[in-house]
Amino acid sequence: MKKDRLIALTDAVLAIIMTILILELEKPTTPSLQAFWDLRQNFFACFLSFFWLGSLWMALNTLWEKVEKISSEIIWWNLFLLLERQEFSLENFMPSKIPV
């Protein structure tokens, strides 16, 4: 596999995860400061996850500059990293997402 294809896959997966984070963000029922304040934990988790994924993307771009050859081991580690980032985003652990 060419390095550019793996980078494109990684970029696409991270972009999709970040988009889903924003789309699934619970919206306030009324346009008031109190409604936003009531959802502050959800907003905080979403923004923290978004910037955490953004910093991962920046670090990976720096790392990819140093990679010369892509082996199957690198591909599997990259796929595992992407799966782990999607499954364990902070928004999934917020109180509103925990079943009662």
Flag whether the pTM goes above 0.85.
no
Confidence label for 24 from pLDDT (cuts 50, 70 and 90)? confident
**Domain limits of the chain?**
3-97
CA–CA separation, 57 vs 10, rounded Å? 8
Under 8 Å CB-to-CB from 81, ≥6 apart: which residues? none
Tell me the two tokens of residue 56.
């991962």
- List Cα–Cα distances, 23 to 11, 33, 43, 84, 100, in angstroms: 18, 20, 12, 20, 24
pLDDT at 8: 92
pLDDT at 58: 92
Mean pLDDT, rounded, for 40-56: 88
